[in-house]
Structure formats: C-alpha cells, structure tokens
C-alpha cells in the first residue's frame, strides 16, 4: 500500500456528526426574506394573462421583468430561461417567485395567483419528438444535438454471410439524484457596494458566477459565490443551482434584503434535473470464433424542455457505447431530443450508465444466443493495453481487465456459481459487469474550455492554504487535498488549510464534476506543492499558481470525434449475486464484490466510501428506482414513492483495488467518483438473467417488468 493511501480521520466528520456543520438551510441573516417558486401547471402553453392579487407591504413578485440582463441561464446552449417568457415548456417551469417574510402569507398569495394558459399540444416522448406531432420545441427537428463517428467499414461486414447479426433496443428510465439535502440558496444583495453575494449548496461556484454575470450584465467583481457545506449532489447540483441562485438574486436585488430559497422535497424531485431516459439500439456482427467484427449503435436521449448539459451527456454516452470491447468496424450515431418534460442534466456517470447497461446487456444477451458463457464472450472481445478506443484513440495506460476479472472470480466464485445457477432453476443468479470510465472532461475540454488554475498560498506562519474552486460535497475533497499537500511538503495535515470556495478568494479551477477533481485539480495542486517545496522560506509569504497543461500526446478532433476522448480511464469489475422470490419476483441482493483500478488510492476509507456509495446508487438504478411520467407529470414525486435503497436493500460489499498509478495524477491517482455507479445496474441485470434465463432490455427490473418479460416468454435458449 502507498503511504498516502492510509486512511486519516476525515477533516469534516466531527462537525457533521454533531450537527454543527452549517448547510445553507441552517444560515439565517438579519431581515431575511423567504421565496417560493410559482410554476407552470401545463406541459406546453402560451401564457395569456397572469393575475396577481394585491400584495401586503413587504411582499414581492419577481418575474422575467426583474432580470437586469439576459433571461437565459448561461450554459452550452443559451436556451433555458430563468423565468418563463410568454411560453411554458414543461410542468413546473418557473413563472415567478413570491417573496416575503412569512411563508404562511406567501402561500396565501400563491393560492390567489391565476394564470390563463392557451394550451399547445405537448411533445412528451422521444417518439412524439421524432414524429413532430406538434410544432418543434427546439430548432426545426426537436433535436438539441446529434453526432456520429465511425471507423473501419461496417457495411462490408454486415453483408457477409458467415457472420451472425444480433440486434436489440435497450431502455433506461429516469434516475433522481436524491441527495439528502434539498437544493437551496441564499442571495444577499449588498446595495451599498452594488454587489451580489450568493451562498448555496452547489458543485460549481464559477458556473453560478458566470450565469449571474450574464443575468445581471455585471462585471466579475460584482458577483460573489460562496459554497456552503453541501449535503450530497451527484451531479444534481452541477447546473441547477445557477437557476435558483438567479431567482434568489433577482429577488434580493429588488427587495434589497437577503432572500432564502430552499426546496421542499416534492419540489426537488418533481422539478430538478435528472438522469436522461435512453433508448439505445445495438446491432453487432459476430464471426464463428465469437469475435465481434462490427457494430452499429444509435443512442437516443430524452433531453427534456431545455438543452442544459444534454449535448455533453450524449457525447459521453456515445463514447462509452462500445463498452470495454474492441470493435474494429464501428458506426455510432446519437441524438438528444427536446420534449415538453423536465429538463434532464448531470447525474454521476453522465451518459455512461445508460450506455454501459446497453452494451453489457447486449453482450450477455448475445452470449446466450451464441451459446457461449458471457464472461468468455467478453474476454474474447475486450480491450488490452494499446488497443484503440471507440473514437480511434489509444488505451495507452496499462489495462488490467484480465487480472481484475480473475480477482473478482476468486472473491466471488463467479464462474462456478454462474454455471451452477445456469444449469438449473433455483431462482439464484450471479452477474458480472466490466466497466471503464473516462476521467476528466471530454477531449480537449480541460485545455480549451475549463483552463483550470489553482493556487497555493504559504502564509508567514508557515500554514499553507489550498485555493481551488472545487467543493467537498461529501466525497472528501477537503481531506484528500490536505493529504496531497501535506505529503508533498512533508508537513502535518493541520498545517494545511482548505475552506469552502468563495469566488472572491479562489481561482477558477473548474467545476466539481466528471471525475476530474482529484486527477486534474489534485494533480495541479500536487505540482504547485512541489514548486512550493523548492521555494519554501520559513516565515515568508509565498504564492504559487499553476495552470492546466494538456499532456502533448493527447490528440482530439472535436468535429470528427476522433482521437483520445479522455486523458485516461478508470476500470471496474463488479459482481452481484441475487435470489428471486418465485411467486412475487421480488429480488434479494445477496452479496456484491468489486475490483477497481482508480490508480493510486489517495485515502482508503474515502475511496471505499465512493465505491460503496456509487455501487449502491447503481444497484438502485437497476433494481428499484422507477420514475415515470403521466401527461408530463412525474408520478413518483416523494421519497415514499420514489424508493432508493435502504440499509436492508444493500448487502455486504467486498472491494479490492488494483495498484496502477497514473503518471499525470497526484501520487498516481485517477478518477474514482463516477465509475462505481456505472456497473451496478448491468451486473444486477446479468444476475437476473442468469437466474431466469431471459433476455433483458430494460432497467429498473422492478417485479412488474420481470413479470412482463416472463409473460412475453422471451426465452433465448429455446
């Protein structure tokens, strides 16, 4: 084990256990007002008229007319308004805020507001969007983004007579982040200095700052964003906080008092961004040695009413769509559609969970059809060090998949159990998934878009302050970063300082997303610490700044989608064992095992926490997290109806790490945040398949879905 991997006490743990840590809802300002969002009750309509009752003294309505700058949230596409402007495009779209001192009175005002709508036929599904059943929501084709890339020549292969073609469509539904702390923000407009201060539960302080600069048409020095202790995020607090920070800021600007906007749980589940539902079509051509010679893959995502991050989610889904397999002839296409439903966004994995469920299930379904064991079929086709990626880049760093499979097999007794359960009807099953996750931003995004900058400030008293914009949202950034700096400088952990970021104090080291924080930002901080070590002079102040430089071997063509889509990859092999109740089809998850390659582990407890927690979310995605729409309304809009795993749903987890240091990462670390989620659902689906001998095309595998599949009698072996 590396010295740095030894666990230390998490630096924020004591304050969180005792309830002392302050989340945004725990903050109170003098003269603070509260805000509540009034939302569209229609999926698609033109607002004809809004009736506002007489307001008591000190109460305000905030709407599109209160936005000093542009009524669009700054993102990849500028299409998402802060407040509806004439048209509403999904149920829950913000129309206005009611702001004042007492929530009871705000709610009374709410009940008297009336909006007259002229309804327009909504586009509620990908099929509606494709069929253009109504006027397009976006562009003239309802498509936010579409891409394609290819290599080799698929047509030649698919025409051959000596190959076997297998084709299927795989579907995944919504997944809600369900961080325990609901979304929330406080805006405090300092009218003396004409400056907006934002305090919020968020992942990306500079995203919020940039969004508000555009919305207020203000220069950089007039907007300050401070992250508050964040009670989980998982991607859900990547883009959405920009919207509500805007809302609270417009209100505070008008009322000249601090304004607090905290979501209730139902509001949070119903109206904040989720994982994109997907339909992925995979067609493969396999030769008589069970080698996949060609694949044609189409990824369709439901983006919801506004684009947000959808285009990038689609790209990641497409790059991951061949899984860990080396397919020489390939064509991948993808489209993300606009629909009159809640806008979808970032959730741990970011397109990858959909893609990996599809390809892993396709491999398992194909193996059944080809009469070969899934793991053998996968071994024949999986990538090795130096092989090309789906986009024609190179798996340059050592790939230990074979060794990882062997380890996982030793831990779980997978092969023996698989054969045993496959040979009889004992309602038991075991499944294995093989996963990679590209670490960091796609392609040259780090170099061309993010341009991370970090600072280390050594104070006169010899303490060292880490100045970065990345947040600790539970994943342990405060602890791991202190460890990196204290280890490089060989000083005690207590001598290193890191606080929740405040954009007035920290440089823009980029968002806390994409499994980039340790690898990219931690790498920069580690290099800054090396510099500081050389320049160290006791009792003198020193500031070191480091900017991201892309390794020169990375080549990426964004237009053609060719080259290295990611600087490097983390890997996992995950195994799930289940037992199915023969009458109710309720499934008990008996055991899970996993083997990870995340480079050097910076802190064993912290990384294990990421692995356990991610795997549990992946299991939830596969087992139970069912969210459906009826006429644009989310049916499961409470924690009672949208069920996430409890302690009784998650079995004992056994986890090991493969040591495979990555030379650009701090102490050899790669990304670890998203990876563990990705393999949960496919391993679970594989286990269900092993038990029931059925083809699986869909998650979550709630008992109703299993019953439906069994009734359709789709037994592959027959």
Partner 1 sequence: MKINTIINGKNIIEEINPSKRLLDYLREDLRILGVKEGCGEGECGACAVLIDNVLVNSCLVAVGYINNKEVVTIDYFKNTESYKIIEESFIKEGAVQCGFCTPGFVIATYTLLKKNKSPSEEEIKEGISGNLCRCTGYNMIVNAVRRASKRGEGVW
**Nearest to partner 1 of 15, 127 (CB atom):** 15
From 1, 6, 9, 107, residue interacting with partner 1 (rule: CB under 8 A): 9
29 belongs to the binding site for partner 1 (CB under 8 A): no
685 belongs to the binding site for partner 1 (CB under 8 A): no
674 belongs to the binding site for partner 1 (CB under 8 A): no
From 2, 7, 128, 373, residue interacting with partner 1 (rule: CB under 8 A): 7
Asked if residue 565 lies in contact with residue 352, where contact means CB atoms within 8 angstroms, the answer is: no
Q: Pick from 563, 684, 560, 552: which is nearest to 616 by CA?
A: 684
**Nearest to partner 1 of 102, 384 (CB atom):** 102
Of the ranges 18-26, 414-422, 453-461, 542-550, which one interacts with partner 1 (CB under 8 A)?
A: 18-26
605 belongs to the binding site for partner 1 (CB under 8 A): yes
Q: Which of residues 453-492 bind partner 1 (CB under 8 A)?
A: 473-476
**Nearest to partner 1 of 81, 205 (CB atom):** 205
613 belongs to the binding site for partner 1 (CB under 8 A): yes
385 belongs to the binding site for partner 1 (CB under 8 A): no
**Nearest to partner 1 of 334, 680 (CB atom):** 680
Residue 107 CB, shortest distance to partner 1, in Å, is 14
**For residue 490, with 0-12 CB atoms within 10 Å meaning exposed, 13-18 middle and 19 or more buried, which class applies?**
exposed
β-pairing, 292-304 vs 329-338, is: parallel
Q: Which residues contact 713 (CB under 8 A, 6 or more apart)?
A: none
| Chain position carrying tokens 């579907």 | 171
**Nearest to partner 1 of 14, 549 (CB atom):** 14
Of the ranges 4-12, 327-335, 437-445, 700-708, which one interacts with partner 1 (CB under 8 A)?
A: 4-12
Residue 614 CB, shortest distance to partner 1, in Å, is 8
**Nearest to partner 1 of 12, 413 (CB atom):** 12
Measured CA to CA in angstroms, residue 587 lies from 177, 389, 509, 531, 682 at distances of 23, 36, 44, 55, 15
The token pair that represents 677 in the structure block = 């989620």
From 179, 436, 571, 593, residue interacting with partner 1 (rule: CB under 8 A): 179
634 belongs to the binding site for partner 1 (CB under 8 A): no
Residue 175 CB, shortest distance to partner 1, in Å, is 12
Total residues in contact with partner 1, by rule CB under 8 A = 58
612 belongs to the binding site for partner 1 (CB under 8 A): yes
**Nearest to partner 1 of 104, 713 (CB atom):** 104
The token pair that represents 557 in the structure block = 């063509």
181 belongs to the binding site for partner 1 (CB under 8 A): yes
Look at residue 657 and give its three-state secondary structure.
Answer: strand
Q: Which of residues 219-238 bind partner 1 (CB under 8 A)?
A: 229-234
Look at residue 269 and give its three-state secondary structure.
Answer: helix
Helix H, strand E, coil C: the string for 55-121 is CCCCCEEECHHHCCCCCCCCCCCCCCCCCCECEECCCCCEEEEEEECCHHHHHHHHHHCEEEEEECC
Calculate the CA dihedral of residues 318, 685, 379, 386 and round it to 10 degrees.
30
Rounded CA gap, 674 and 437, in Å?
A: 7
650 belongs to the binding site for partner 1 (CB under 8 A): yes
**Nearest to partner 1 of 408, 473 (CB atom):** 473
639 belongs to the binding site for partner 1 (CB under 8 A): yes
**Nearest to partner 1 of 13, 449 (CB atom):** 13
Residue 203 CB, shortest distance to partner 1, in Å, is 12
DSSP string, 532-585: HHHH--TT--EEEEEE----TT--EETTTTEE-SSSEEEEEEEEEEEEE-TTT-
From 609, 703, 705, 714, residue interacting with partner 1 (rule: CB under 8 A): 609
From 644, 656, 661, 705, residue interacting with partner 1 (rule: CB under 8 A): 644
Q: What is the maximum span of the chain, computed from C-alpha positions, in angstroms?
A: 80
Rounded CA gap, 707 and 718, in Å?
A: 18
Of the ranges 44-52, 180-188, 366-374, 694-702, which one interacts with partner 1 (CB under 8 A)?
A: 180-188
Q: Pick from 357, 365, 274, 377: which is nearest to 317 by CA?
A: 357
**For residue 552, with 0-12 CB atoms within 10 Å meaning exposed, 13-18 middle and 19 or more buried, which class applies?**
exposed
Asked if residue 192 lies in contact with residue 645, where contact means CB atoms within 8 angstroms, the answer is: no
**Nearest to partner 1 of 18, 461 (CB atom):** 18
263 belongs to the binding site for partner 1 (CB under 8 A): no
**Nearest to partner 1 of 55, 639 (CB atom):** 639
From 116, 167, 264, 557, residue interacting with partner 1 (rule: CB under 8 A): 264
Residue 515 CB, shortest distance to partner 1, in Å, is 16
- The arrangement of strands across the sheet holding 568-580 comes to 428-439, 568-580, 587-597, 653-657
Residues near partner 1, by CB under 8 A: 7, 9-10, 12-23, 25-26, 28, 177-182, 229-234, 264-266, 473-476, 605-606, 608-609, 612-617, 638-640, 644-648, 650, 652-653
């Amino acid at each position: 084990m590396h010295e740095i991997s030894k666990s230390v006490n998490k630096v924020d743990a004591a304050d969180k256990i005792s309830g002392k840590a302050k989340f945004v809802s725990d903050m109170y300002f003098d003269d603070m007002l509260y805000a509540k969002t009034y939302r569209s009750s229609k999926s698609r309509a033109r607002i004809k008229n809004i009736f506002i009752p007489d307001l008591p003294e000190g109460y305000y309505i905030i709407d599109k007319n209160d936005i000093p700058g542009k009524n669009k949230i700054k993102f990849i596409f500028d299409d998402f308004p802060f407040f509806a402007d004439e048209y509403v495009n999904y149920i829950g779209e913000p129309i206005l805020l009611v702001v004042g001192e007492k929530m009871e009175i705000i709610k009374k005002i709410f009940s008297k507001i009336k909006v007259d709508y002229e309804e327009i036929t909504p586009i509620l599904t990908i099929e509606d969007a494709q069929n253009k059943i109504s006027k397009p929501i976006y562009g003239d084709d309802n498509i936010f983004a579409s891409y394609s890339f290819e290599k080799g020549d698929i047509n030649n292969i698919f025409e051959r007579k000596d190959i076997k073609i297998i084709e299927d469509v795989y579907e995944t539904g919504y997944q809600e982040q369900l961080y325990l702390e609901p979304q929330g923000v406080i805006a405090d407009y300092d009218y003396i200095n004409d400056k907006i201060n934002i305090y919020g539960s968020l992942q990306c302080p500079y995203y919020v700052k940039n969004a508000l600069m555009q919305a207020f048409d203000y220069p950089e020095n007039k907007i300050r964003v401070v992250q508050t202790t964040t009670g989980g995020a998982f991607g859900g607090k990547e883009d959405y906080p920009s919207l509500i920070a805007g809302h609270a800021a417009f209100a505070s600007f008008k009322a000249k008092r601090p304004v607090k906007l905290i979501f209730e749980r139902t509001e949070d589940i119903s109206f904040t961004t989720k994982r994109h539902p997907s339909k992925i079509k995979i067609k493969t051509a396999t030769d008589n040695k069970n080698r996949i010679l060609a694949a044609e893959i189409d990824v369709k995502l439901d983006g919801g009413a506004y684009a947000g991050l959808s285009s990038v989610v689609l790209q990641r889904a497409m790059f991951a769509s061949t899984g860990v397999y080396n397919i020489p002839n390939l064509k991948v296409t993808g489209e993300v559609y606009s629909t009159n439903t809640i806008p979808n966004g970032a959730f741990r994995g970011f397109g990858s969970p959909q893609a990996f469920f599809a390809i892993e299930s396709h491999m398992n379904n194909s193996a059944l059809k080809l009469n070969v064991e899934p793991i053998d079929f996968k071994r024949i086709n999986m990538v090795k060090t130096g092989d090309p990626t789906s986009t024609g880049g190179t798996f340059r760093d050592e790939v230990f998949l074979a060794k990882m499979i062997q380890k996982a097999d030793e831990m779980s007794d997978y092969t023996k159990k698989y054969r045993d359960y496959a040979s009889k009807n004992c309602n038991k099953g075991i499944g294995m998934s093989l996963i990679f996750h590209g670490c960091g931003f796609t392609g040259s995004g780090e170099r061309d878009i993010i341009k991370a900058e970090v600072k280390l400030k050594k104070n006169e008293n010899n303490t060292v302050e880490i100045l970065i914009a990345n947040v600790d949202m539970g994943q342990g950034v405060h602890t791991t970063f202190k460890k990196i700096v204290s280890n490089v400088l060989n000083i005690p952990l207590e001598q290193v300082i890191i606080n929740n970021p405040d954009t007035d104090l920290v440089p823009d080291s980029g968002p806390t997303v994409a499994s980039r924080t340790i690898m990219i930002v931690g790498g920069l901080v580690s290099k800054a610490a090396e510099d500081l070590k050389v320049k160290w002079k006791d009792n003198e102040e020193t500031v070191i700044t480091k900017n991201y430089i892309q390794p020169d071997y990375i080549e990426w063509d964004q237009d053609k989608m060719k080259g290295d889509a990611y600087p490097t990859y983390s890997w996992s092999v995950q195994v799930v064992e289940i037992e199915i109740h023969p009458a109710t089809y309720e499934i008990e998850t008996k055991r899970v095992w996993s083997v990870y390659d995340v480079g050097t582990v910076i802190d064993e407890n912290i990384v294990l926490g990421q692995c356990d927690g991610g795997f549990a979310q992946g299991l939830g995605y596969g087992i139970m997290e069912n969210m459906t729409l009826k006429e644009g309304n989310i049916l499961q809009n409470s924690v009672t109806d949208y069920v996430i795993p409890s302690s009784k749903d998650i079995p004992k987890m056994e986890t090991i790490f493969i040591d495979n240091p990555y030379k650009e990462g701090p102490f050899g670390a790669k990304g670890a945040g998203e990876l563990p989620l990705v393999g949960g659902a496919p391993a679970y689906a594989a286990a269900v398949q092993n038990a029931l001998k059925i083809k699986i095309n869909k998650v979550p595998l709630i008992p109703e879905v299993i019953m439906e599949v069994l009734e359709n009698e789709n037994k592959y072996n027959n």
